[in-house]
Amino acid sequence: MDNCIFCKIAEGEIPSNTIYEDEDFRVILDISPANIGHCLVIPKKHFKDITEIDSEILSKGIKIAQKTAKAQKKALNADGVNILQNNGESAGQTVNHFHIHVIPRFKGDDVVIEFNSKEHSNEEFAEIKEKIAKELQ
């Protein structure tokens, strides 16, 4: 994809702090990390988001995210790790090339990942369950 910054980074046209690379993926340090060591797992092929990514590539990507999380725990002595993945502007996606955030967490750090809970009636839960389940058939 022309003019996609993550295509250029993944292919090595734009330099990055690369911590892992294979024929399908590059793992880099996020330029504006939530915590030190915040990584992005980026496929070399362009996919806009999780709805468009090839499922084999996705499977490989989540395994690389798992390895990255384990490496962060060891290397940085992280207490925990958040795996985040944003799809669409409303969900906070700012770079429209699929990527997985792997964020090391430390007890008492100032990273905020939150959502406000909503309440629904049992009827509303039942209705929404049917709607989504139907699409999964």
CA 4 to CA 48: how far, in whole Å?
10
- At its nearest, how many Å lie between Zn ion and the CB of residue 5? 8
Given the complex with ligand 5GP, which of 34 and 78 has the nearer CB atom?
Answer: 34
User: Interface with ligand 5GP by CB under 6 A: which range of 60-68, 87-95, 114-122, 129-137?
Assistant: 87-95
Binding to Zn ion by CB under 5 A, coded x per residue (else -) over 50-89, reads ----------------------------------------
Site string for ligand 5GP, 30-49 (x = CB under 6 A): xxx-------x---------
Q: Is 3 an interacting residue with respect to ligand 5GP (CB under 6 A)?
A: no
What DSSP designation does 25 have?
A: E
Pairing of strands 39-43, 25-29: antiparallel
**Inter-residue contact 100 to 50 (CB < 8 Å):** no
| Ramachandran category for residue 12: left, alpha or beta (phi over 0 → left; psi -120 to 50 → alpha) | left
Contact between 4 and Zn ion per CB under 5 A = yes
The CA distance from 15 to 101, in Å, is 19
Dist. CA 120–CA 75, nearest whole Å: 43
Active-site amino acid positions = 99
Q: Which residues bind Zn ion (CB under 5 A)?
A: 1, 4, 6-7, 46, 97
